[in-house]
Amino acid sequence: MSKAIPEFDTDPFSRASVRNARAVDDRLRELAPVVRLPRENITMLARFEHVAAGLRDWKSFSSTSRPWHDPKSVRPELLLTDDPPKHTRVRAVVANALSPQALTPMAEAFRRDARSIVNGVVARGGQAIDAVADITQPFVYKVLPDLIGLPQQGREHMYAFGNMVWATMGPMNELFHEAMENTTEVIAWASQCCNRENLAPGSLGLAMYEAADRGEVTPQEANLLVGILLSAAADTTVLTLANTIRAFCEFPDQYQLVRSDPTLVRAAFEESLRWDSPSRMAGRIAMKDIEIDSYLIPAGERCGLMFAAANRDPRRWEAPDRFDVRRSNRDNLGFGYGVHACVGRVLALLEADALLGALAGSVQRFESAGEPEPWMTTIGHGPIRLPVRCL
């Protein structure tokens, strides 16, 4: 006999919930292994054991139809919304372009851009700054479009474009409609900048079209892949780097460990992914009846696998609210699991090496200069403003 799935009494995607996402998501996780959202008519899994298993099992939890799937949205419909075999074929093209062999030559350019930004911050002599607007966004919004080969003109639209794409991953609520306001110029830029004729020779973006020339993907898929690289690889890294700086403010002992041992830079970035993940959930659809702890999820049910709550599950992580750069993050869900694990992991870690390494070499300590302001989008999560002092 299946147990009745309990309903969550809060809309986790409201403005108030987004402002308090950690507490809301953690409360949902502790309610039950399987939880219903009556307002959205979807089923949520938030405990580490079940989220990790769901991410691994694409045959049971498919990406082909997500909770708020809209093929007419501005989000590029590829990779994240496909399962094997199509996913396998297309992913191979991106994975090859984002391999260590392909990206390592970019490391010095990343370090150069990071040093320039950090030197400018240090020159301000401990003034209160916004770690997002003054550090993480300028860095990622420079190195990523350079890597993709985008024209300089129009890059000011990157934040608005990312906000639109992330909004399409959640429900069409008030925050969704706000993200879609006054976006005519943004959509026009996004539709043009990813075209072959606008990409620089030798760039990552052009490599997608060269794969199409070889017959590995279609020209249309190549265009979508450039859009995916632009949308998926930007704000997750901006937020994770910002959360790392926030953690350095809250856990100064951990920052001093990183300063004393630069090999811990990547560990700090990965711990930030676990400590406060930049994506709250991934959407799936149940392809068959699935039973979890006597709760039955019927075939066809729309589901949410909650990364952030699972990454703070005390059943898996000791003292999960503590930021600990020496923690083993082998099972961290921040980069995902299985066939849909983040294909840009190498790129993100190279960016972290450059920016966090430059900060650790030049900033003795970080101090909070005010309360962080959360990014007001339903699925993406992290500070859009982070007042700090770099001392």
Give residue-wise pLDDT tens across range 96-155: 999 999 999 999 999 999 999 999 999 999 999 999 999 999 999 999 999 999 999 999
* 174 membership: H or E segment, kind and range: helix 174-179
pLDDT for the residue 77: 66
Tell me the C-alpha distance between 63 and 65, whole Å. 6
Q: How far apart are CA 114 and CA 116, in angstroms?
A: 5
DSSP readout, 25-75? HHHHHHH-SSEEETTTTEEEE-SHHHHHHHHH-TTTEESSS-TT--TTSSS
Question: What is the rounded average pLDDT of the residues 41-67?
Answer: 92
Q: Which of 16, 34, 108 is nearest to 294 (CA)?
A: 34
The confidence band for 194, taking pLDDT boundaries of 50, 70 and 90, is very high
Query: Is 4 inside a domain boundary?
Result: no
CB atoms < 10 A from the CB of 263, how many? 7
* CB-CB neighbours of 287 under 10 Å: 18
Instruction: Using the predicted structure, report yes or no on whether residue 213 has a pLDDT greater than 80.
Output: yes
* Residue 5 in domain: no
Give the CATH number for residue 252: 1.10.630.10
Residue 304 lies in domain: 15-390
Answer yes or no: is 376 within a domain: yes
Of 74 and 354, the one with more pLDDT = 354
Q: How many domains does the chain have?
A: 1
Q: Can you tell me the mean pLDDT for 224-236? A: 90
Separation of alpha carbons 29 and 23, rounded Å: 10
Model confidence, pTM: 0.95
Q: Is the pLDDT of residue 242 over 90?
A: yes
* Residue 9 included in any domain: no
Residue 277 near residue 26 (C-beta atoms within 8 A): no
Is 58 inside any structural domain?
yes
In a domain, 8, yes or no: no
Whether 10 maps to a domain, the answer reads no
pLDDT at residue 80, as a whole number = 66
Residue 2 covered by a domain: no
**What does the pLDDT look like over 120-132, one tens digit per residue?**
999 999 999 999 9
Q: Does pLDDT of 71 surpass 80?
A: no
Percent of the chain surpassing pLDDT 90: 87
